[in-house]
Amino acid sequence: MNSSKTIGIIGGGQLGQMMAISAIYMGHKVITLDPAADCPASKVSEVIVAPYHDVAALKQLAERCDVLTYEFENVDADGLDAVIKDGQLPQGTDLLRISQNRIFEKDFLAKKAGVQVAPYKVVTSSLDLEGLDLSKNYVLKTATGGYDGHGQKVIREEADLVEASQLANSAECVLEEFVNFDLEISVLVSGNGSDYTVFPVQENIHRNNILYKTIVPARISDELAQKAQVMAVQIAKKLDLSGTLCVEMFVAGDDILVNEIAPRPHNSGHYTFESCATSQFEQIIRAVTNLPLGSTKLISPSVMVNLLGEEGYEGEPFIEGIHDALEIPELSFHFYGKKETKPFRKMGHITVLDDNLDIALKKALKAKDILKIKGSKKI
C-alpha cells in the first residue's frame, strides 16, 4: 500500500509552509491555495493562486488532493462543503464554524465541552452596552474576523463606550469580563479519529496583542499543568478531533479559564520543532493522514521568540545580526521568506534550548537584542 498522499493546504503563510515541509519529509506531495504566488509555502510546494473563498479554486484543490487541511480558520466552510469528498477534510467544517464565530465558540466551550470561560454576553447593538457595571473591565470582540487585537475594544471607563458602541453597531459581538489573570498559557492537542496526544503546557507573553515569546514548560505547578492538559483533551474529544487544536487559556490563581481555540498549528507551538520528539506540524500531518500520532515528549526546556519587522522599515527584508546570534549555543533561527517586511509583521522566530529555563530565557533575550529584520525602505 502506498502511504504517500497529495495533501492540499488552504493558506500558504508560515504555518502552511511549515506544515508542507513536514509533509514532504514524510514523503507526501503538497499543493497550497493562496492569493499570493510568492507566499512562504511557494518555496516548498505548488501553489494554486486564488482567493481563499474562490469555490472553483477550492474545487480544483479538492480534485487534485487526497486530503485537505488549513493553516488558519477564516476559510469558506460552505465552499468547502460544496467541493470536498466524504472524509477528505478530516477536521471537518463544524470545527471551522465553531472557531470562526466567537458566539458559537463560547457556547460550545461553556455548554458542550463543559470548561470554564470568562463571563460573557452576546452583544447585537450598542443598546446591549447600556447600564454596564464600569467597576469591572471588559473586552468587546467582534463575533467573526479579527486577530492579533483587531476587532476588539477594551472598556475600562465611560469614555471607552464611544468606540465600543461603534463596534457593537457595526457587527455582532461578544462582551467578555476582563480576567485578572496571572499568566496566559496554551495547550496543543491532536487527534487522529481514535487517539489523542497533548503537548507540554506553553506560557505565552504578548506585546501589543501579538505573541512575543513562548516559554516551555510553563512556569506553573504540575497540578495546574495537568488540569490544563485534561481540559484540552476534554475539548478535543467533544469535537471528535482529527487534526491539531490549540487551546488558549488564562491562569487565575487555582482556576484555568479557556479563552479561545484555534483549529490548526499555532504560533505558540513553533518551539516543538526543536524541543519535542514530534513537532506540531508533523503531528497534524500524521493526524489528517490517519497515521499513529507521535510522541509529544519534551526533549528540552525552550524559549521561542517571534521576530517581527522592525518599526520604521518596509520593503525587501534584510536580516541584521544573524552571524552573532547564531554563535549563541542551542539557538535555531527560522525565517519565513516573506518578500516584504512591514512594522510588526511576523517574519520569523528563534528557539533557544537549555536544560536550565532561566538560562534559555537569557540566551533568547540576548539573541532578540541582536537580531533585527529591517527593510529596504525607511518609513
Structural domain for 34, as ranges: 6-89
pTM: 0.94
Q: At 238, which CATH number? A: 3.30.470.20
Q: If phi over 0 gives left and psi between -120 and 50 gives alpha, with beta otherwise, what is residue 255?
A: beta
pLDDT tens digits along 104-116: 999 999 999 999 9
HSE toward the beta carbon, residue 128, CA cutoff 13 A: 18
pLDDT tens digits along 22-72: 999 999 999 999 999 999 999 999 999 999 999 999 999 999 999 999 999
- What does each C-alpha distance from 242 to 152, 195, 277 come to in angstroms? 30, 9, 20
Residue 364 and residue 334 share a domain: yes
Residue 344 and residue 298 share a domain: yes
Residue 262 and residue 347 share a domain: yes
97 in a structural domain: no
Long-range contacts of 92-98 (CB under 8 A, 24+ apart): 92/242, 94/239, 95/239, 95/241, 95/243, 95/245, 95/263, 96/70, 96/263, 98/239, 98/261, 98/263
Last residue of a domain, one of 135, 155, 177: 177
What grid cell was written down for 233?
A: 483533551
Helix (H) or strand (E) holding 83: helix 77-83
Residue 163 and residue 191 share a domain: no
- Average of per-residue pLDDT across 346-353: 98
Last residue of a domain, one of 177, 194, 219: 177
On whether the CB atoms of residues 350 and 367 are closer than 8 A, the answer is yes
How far apart CA 110 and CA 117 sit, in angstroms, is 6
Residue 146 and residue 204 share a domain: no
Residue 348 and residue 238 share a domain: yes
How far apart CA 137 and CA 263 sit, in angstroms, is 28
Please check the confidence at residue 134 and state whether its pLDDT lies above 80: yes
What is the predicted pLDDT for the residue at 193?
A: 84
136: which residues sit within 8 A by CB, 6+ positions away? 177, 178
Residue 160 and residue 59 share a domain: no
Band the pLDDT of 209: cuts 50, 70, 90: confident
Please check the confidence at residue 148 and state whether its pLDDT lies above 60: no
Task: Decide: helix, strand or coil at residue 165.
Answer: helix
Residue 354 and residue 337 share a domain: yes
On whether the CB atoms of residues 302 and 353 are closer than 8 A, the answer is yes
Q: Which residue type is seen at 334? A: H
How far apart CA 371 and CA 326 sit, in angstroms, is 10
